[in-house]
Structure 1
Amino acid sequence: MSETFSISLNGVTDLPPGKLAAIVTSLEMRAAPPLRPDPPGTGGFSLEQIGAADTARYLSIYRVLGERWMWFSRLVKPAAHSEAILADAAVLCFVVRFDGRDVGLLELDFRVAGEGELAFFGLEESVLGKGAGRWLMNRALELAWARPISRFWVHTCTLDHQSAPEFYQRSGFEAFKRSIEVVDDPRLAGHLPRAAAPHHPVIDG
């Protein structure tokens, strides 16, 4: 059941107990951009496509990558929900492999005709600074624009890494919409540990 409350459009609004709020920025591109060169030293990265049979692996890497940034949408629903998404032929999901380990996640959603969504894009902290972000974005753009789409889009929010909007814009996306998302704090229900996303401290109701 949805809940509503009034929000001031010019000022500060207190949230109800147990709630989190984030500013969501949506970005899009309407044509394939020129790819920036893969950074030197990224030859050791590879993509491995996964499907419904890999749901447990998917949720494990999702949790590892997303805990710091409050990824929770797949954790608050039964595993069968993620399994059904991974089984959909219109969804492409890959783990990033490096040095024999799963270090990243790329999920592309083509379930809306004519467009693709960069649904999840994340890398383990251990590979940041090695050019992995640019390498992975290049792969995402190649995979997306190989499909018959006229729009590729992504959304990020203030729970994500602060550099995410700038990175997406450097990759060819343009911001087109800003929204406010209000959700139950997933840490209070145990979907994420209380120590997750320490830059957004837990406030008990």
Structure 2
Amino acid sequence: MLTPVTTWYLEMLSPEWLRPTLSSRADLVVMQAEVPSPEFSRFLYTAVGGDWYWLQRLSWSYEQWLRYLDRPQVQTWVAYVSGTPAGYVELEAQPDENVEIAYFGLLGQFMGQGLGGHLLTVGTQQAWNMGAKRVWVHTCSLDGPYALKNYQSRGFKLYDQQVHSEELPEQPPGPWG
């Protein structure tokens, strides 16, 4: 099915732009997944992105995942609620001293609880800690309904918008696809 998709590109040019929001939940912790684990990263990718047409990495082999993850430029930060993975943010440092928020999101059962703002705050702080001169992200009309608002609420500013068409399956693959 040919679907029109709007992509928004956002950036933060200074750590002072960050408008943090942090949860006071005692059962919430965000920590870095320091050991490259293709199985865990693929789980996060499908569990978070399965409902939003995240398709690009579904065909990756174990070796492709490992090659991507086992680089110092990539960091994965995971939010846990009572020990259960609730979402993640994947950061990738680029040669031009930019850090991209490559992937970000929550598992469905954890949406609507204020966790997204907290996780994005921590992820953005970590991007600045990686030596970024600029932190950027893109989101699109296929992503969660609050994604764009969350980025803008944290202080990211829109710098480009593009519309294109994508050939998509009738339904997103879901986390089990």
Q: CA offsets per residue over residues 111-134 of structure 1, 9 Å max, x none?
A: 233110011111112222332112
Matched with 1:23 is 6
Matched with 2:167 is 184
Following superposition of structure 1 onto structure 2, how do residues 85-104 of structure 1 map, counting pairs within 5 Å? 85-104=68-87
Identity %: 23
Offset, 1:76? 3.3
Offset, 1:42? 5.3
Q: Which has the higher contact order (CA 8 A, sep 6+)?
A: 2
Q: Which has the larger radius of gyration?
A: 1
Matched with 1:46 is 30
Offset, 1:138? 1.5
Q: How far, CA to CA, are the matches of 2:3 and 2:112 in structure 1? A: 30
Higher strand share: 2
Offset, 1:74? 1.0
**Structure 1's 191 and 39: CA in aligned 2 closer, same or farther, altered over 3 A?**
closer
- Measured on the aligned residues, the alpha-carbon RMSD in Å equals 2.4
Tell whether the 8 Å contact from 2:13 to 2:135 is kept in structure 1 after alignment.
Answer: yes
Q: How far, CA to CA, are the matches of 1:37 and 1:162 in structure 2? A: 19
Match of 1:82 among 53, 58, 65: 65
Q: CA offsets per residue over residues 150-191 of structure 1, 9 Å max, x none?
A: 111000001012221121111111101112343332x47x99
Tell whether the 8 Å contact from 2:20 to 2:118 is kept in structure 1 after alignment.
Answer: no
Tell whether the 8 Å contact from 2:18 to 2:121 is kept in structure 1 after alignment.
Answer: no
**Which moved further from structure 2: 88-97 or 37-46?**
37-46
Tell whether the 8 Å contact from 2:30 to 2:122 is kept in structure 1 after alignment.
Answer: no
> What amino acid sits opposite 1:45 in the alignment?
V
The answer to whether residue 93 in structure 2 is matched with residue 110 in structure 1 is: yes
Q: Which runs of 5+ in 1 are unaligned?
A: 1-17, 197-205
Task: Specify the SS of the correspondent of 1:135.
Answer: helix
Following superposition of structure 1 onto structure 2, how do residues 1-205 of structure 1 map, counting pairs within 5 Å? 18-32=1-15, 33-41=17-25, 43-52=27-36, 54-185=37-168, 187=169, 192=173
Give the TM-score normalised by structure 1: 0.75
Displaced runs of 4 or more, over 6 A: none
Task: Specify the SS of the correspondent of 1:172.
Answer: coil
Q: Which runs of 5+ in 2 are unaligned?
A: none
Give the TM-score normalised by structure 2: 0.86
Matched with 1:13 is none
**Which moved further from structure 2: 94-103 or 135-144?**
94-103
Tell whether the 8 Å contact from 2:6 to 2:140 is kept in structure 1 after alignment.
Answer: yes
Q: CA offsets per residue over residues 64-123 of structure 1, 9 Å max, x none?
A: 111111111111333332221111110111232222222212100102331100111111
Q: How far, CA to CA, are the matches of 1:69 and 1:100 in structure 2? A: 25
